[in-house]
Amino acid sequence: MSYPPPSQGQTPRIEDPWQLAEHLLGRAPLAIKPVGNGGWNNHLFQIKTDQGMVALKRYPDNDLRGRMARETSALWFLTAHPPTATPRLLSLDPMQNAVLLDWVAGEAIQSETADHATIDAMLQTMAHLHQLRHARGANNLVAASDAVFNVESAKRQIRHRMRRLDSARQQHPKLHDILCRLEGLADELIPRAHEQWPCENPLPTALRTLSFSDFGFHNAIRSTDGTITFVDLEYFGWDDPVKLASDTLWHPAMALRGELRSHFCEQAVTLYEESGDQHIRKRFATMHPLFGLIWSLIVLNPFIQTGEVAPAMVGTTDTKRLEAQLAMAHRYADTLKTGCHLTYHPALTPEQES
């Protein structure tokens, strides 16, 4: 395949991963292999060098979220304030939308293998990030992707996600049905949240925390010595601690249940309460259903016919997958009025729960 020549003054894009790795390393790699399927946000490669393994990560060119800028600024900041539970940034080229990182050897953590040590490692990382809110350079970091600092910003996110799904309603009557249900819930939950937290001003800076945003063991590697490294900082930035904790509880890839769920929920809220956030329990009770409503819409992303969804799901005709996402959205909707369930997670089917 040939590519048009770059315009004058523009750095030519290096398409070949081998050449890109050589460009960032400053020498030829010994071997290279892709990792994963190049899904939602990036392409990842394992690079073998004469000094060991490194990771090559390339971000999408049409990235409106600034994933590379968020991740690299977060890694620089965290490296300056150890201990860190993240990879080191080794090299980068913003013109190529690519970075080299430490290769983290180990195994991905599954919900079935998560234990108290896993949850405690997450809580320790959250506590460290919260301590760093006063550290040098922290005020240069931006808000986390989709940060929420009051009810109104949550409302805007809900309406925005509903609009993105509008174009698919005509082709999918069952999608129309769940959206009608979620719109009805929004009309009930948003006014109730406004009554419980009527302040229109954003959450004071002193009560905010630094957040991975997409946080959990689904973005973590456990090394052979038991060390857990968190590997995805593409949405990193300032956020309400309530959103960090609530998103972690709602995230389909986490699916915390039973005692692990109650342990994380209580310890996370206590962490921020003890740091001076006296109203976090009330704010959590107010906002948790709204964040659940947002997740009810996120799980419907496979219906979106734009480049904002994973390449494998654009224009999908996988009827079973779409039906599963619809069923999951309904299970999320079932739980929105009942608070923080400690034994059940709506991402799981009844068969998976049993």
pLDDT digits (tens, 9 = 90+) for 247-292: 999 999 998 888 899 999 999 999 999 999 999 999 999 999 999 9
Helix (H) or strand (E) run with residue 55 in it: strand 52-58
**pLDDT higher at 341 or 258:** 258
pLDDT at 340 over 90: no
**Average pLDDT value over all residues in the chain:** 89
Q: Which of 324, 289, 331 is nearest to 303 (CA)?
A: 324
Q: Which of 166, 186, 184, 188 is nearest to 175 (CA)?
A: 166
- CA atoms 331, 337, 339, 343: torsion sign: negative
Cα–Cα distances (Å) from 81 to 120, 128, 135, 263, 341, in that order, read 20, 10, 8, 28, 35
> What per-residue confidence (pLDDT) applies to 339?
60
Give the model's confidence band at 1: pLDDT under 50 very low, under 70 low, under 90 confident, else very high. very low
User: Using CA atoms, how far apart are residues 138 and 96, in angstroms rounded to an integer?
Assistant: 26
Instruction: Region of 118 please: left (phi>0), alpha (psi -120 to 50) or beta.
Output: alpha
- CA atoms 230, 235, 240, 242: torsion sign: negative
Q: Which residue reads 């150890």 in tokens?
A: 82
> What per-residue confidence (pLDDT) applies to 222?
94
> What per-residue confidence (pLDDT) applies to 317?
52
User: Using CA atoms, how far apart are residues 167 and 55, in angstroms rounded to an integer?
Assistant: 38
> What per-residue confidence (pLDDT) applies to 231?
92
323-333: average pLDDT: 96
pLDDT at 10 over 80: no
Give the model's confidence band at 106: pLDDT under 50 very low, under 70 low, under 90 confident, else very high. very high
> What per-residue confidence (pLDDT) applies to 249?
94
Residue 106 DSSP one-character state: S
- How does pLDDT run across 109-161, given as a tens digit for each residue? 988 888 899 999 999 999 999 999 999 999 999 999 999 999 999 999 999 99
Q: Characterize the bridge pairing of strands 228-230 and 107-108.
A: unpaired
